[in-house]
Amino acid sequence: MAATQVLAGFHAVIARLRQAPASVKELYVEAARRDKRMQSLIEQANAAGCAVHPVSMDRLDGLTGGSRHQGVVAIADPRKLAADLDEVLDTLAAPALLLILDGVTDPHNLGACLRTADAAGVHAVIAPKDRAVGLNTTVQRVACGAAESVPYIMVTNLARTMRDIKERNIWLVGTDDQATQSIHEVDVKGDIAWVMGAEGEGMRRLTRETCDILAHIPMMGSVESLNVSVATGVCLFETVRQRK
């Protein structure tokens, strides 16, 4: 685990100050910015005992490697979420809701998926180590704090992990444009894992074959597919709808 973690942007920093304030060690803010949003953040940091440093934009750019930061960068201790899937599943009191991402390598898409997963109550997001982006600064910023609350578990062998999930009687529902039934026809009130493929390529063959059910998202217009983060939101909130 890294000795420290860089958090960029208001959402990511505020989420950490709210969830684990003692882990935030230093806060760097744009010296020229004095609006109410910035002042409120500084007050939160002061209350948490975090050192606040007004600095130039060049310094902030250097801390984030040029990624967008909104004039706010924090240095924090890494926050430990569940380290493996068994740790997540062994403690669940509600029906399992997992999200499996096969081949999502764009940090903006992953960040958006994590944000949606948090909103829908997903217990963990799972991805293969060889075909996925890690939790870098861009992911954390786009996730708007969700990277701090939803376990993101990267596995060596995705197909094997999916088979392990099936052994726990969790249904694997894959999304496929060619599937005969729609997501609205699938019963997702029980223990399930949604399986999403990368935009364009979709799921890999073995990933698709390991799914219990394949379903498509009904499309009424001229486009053939949705961005993976949008498709993820549609599927996850179909689960929320059915469970309510």
Q: Please say if the pLDDT value at position 80 is more than 70.
A: no
**DSSP-derived pairing of the beta strands 72-76 and 24-30:** antiparallel
Looking at the structure, give the CATH architecture of the domain made up of residues 85-243. Answer: 3-Layer(aba) Sandwich (3.40)
What's the average model confidence in pLDDT over 164-174?
A: 95
User: Would you say 66 is a known binding-site residue?
Assistant: no
> What pLDDT shows up at residue 52?
94
Written as one letter, the residue type at 30 is E
User: Would you say 197 is a known binding-site residue?
Assistant: yes
Q: Please say if the pLDDT value at position 1 is more than 50.
A: no
The pLDDT tens digits of the residues spanning 179-206 come to: 999 999 999 999 999 999 987 778 899 9
What's the average model confidence in pLDDT over 165-171?
A: 95
Burial label, 230 (beta-carbon count in 10 A; 0-12, 13-18, 19+): middle
Q: Where are the domains of the chain?
A: 5-76, 85-243
Superfamily designation of domain 5-76? Ribosomal protein L30/S12 (3.30.1330.30)
Q: Please say if the pLDDT value at position 82 is more than 60.
A: no
Task: Round to whole Å and give the CA distance between 15 and 189.
Answer: 30
User: Would you say 226 is a known binding-site residue?
Assistant: yes
Find out whether 217 and 234 touch, Cβ atoms under 8 Å: yes
